[in-house]
Amino acid sequence: MTAAIAAHESLAQPLGSIDVSDPSLYEQDTWRPLFARLRREAPVHYCAASPYGPYWSVTRYDDIMTVELDHVTYSSQLGGIQLEDQPADMKRASFIRMDPPRHTAQRKTVAPVAAPNNLPSYEVAIRDRTRAVLNALPRSETFDRVDKVSIELTTMMLATLFDFPWGGAAQTHLLVRRRHLQRQRARRACSFGGGALRRASADGRCVQGSLEGTSEGATAA
């Protein structure tokens, strides 16, 4: 579909039927006219029916910033951060799915990693790893860009910033999953005993705290 046809169809389509969650818009690169129309006519737009259920979309910059900064009205924790429901086995705590003050405290922990004065120290490693990902792409054949580029580059960047072993996205994912399972097993092994409450620390060890309360706020896993 050409840009001219996409623009014409976006104007002919009833406003209420516009669904910017439709993956084909991005596969065919025809999303721009629809977003332009929404910014003009319905910057806060309600889609009543989509594969993900009803949702609101916000398309103007100032409105987006209002939503982003007003955590009291617009919650990342209660409503989530994506249209699609999170798979049951992926429902775990993450600071990008939290609201302040929990989000603020956890974000503060990782923020120094990406501070402007710290980023130059990663430049050589990031450039080398990015070249390796791009140079490994298939030539003269169709490939899945999400699998070969998006996932690889995103995982590589996070592994680099947080000093995690890097052997490609698949190997890194397996290592993360293995550590996650180890911590789950450690938490299940923790139990009440001897008048004290035991819990698993971040590295999977059982840490003992008084039932009367500790500064760490020990809880049962």
Cα(125)–Cα(118) distance, rounded to whole angstroms? Answer: 13
Structure tokens at 189: 């092994």
Output the pLDDT for position 90: 65
**Cβ neighbours around 44 below 10 Å, total:** 12
| Radius of gyration of the chain, Cα coordinates, nearest whole angstrom | 23
Give the Cα-Cα-Cα angle 104, 108, 109 (nearest 5 degrees). 125
pLDDT averaged over every residue in the chain: 74
Cα(36)–Cα(9) distance, rounded to whole angstroms? Answer: 13
Asked whether the whole model's pTM tops 0.85, one would answer no
Question: CB-hemisphere CA count at 13 Å for 27?
Answer: 5
- In tens, the pLDDT along 1-17 reads 566 676 677 778 889 89
- In tens, the pLDDT along 14-52 reads 898 999 999 889 888 889 999 999 999 999 999 998 988
pLDDT category of residue 146 using cuts at 50, 70 and 90:
confident
Pairing of strands 55-58, 196-200: unpaired
Q: Is the peptide bond before 23 cis (omega within 30 degrees of 0)?
A: no
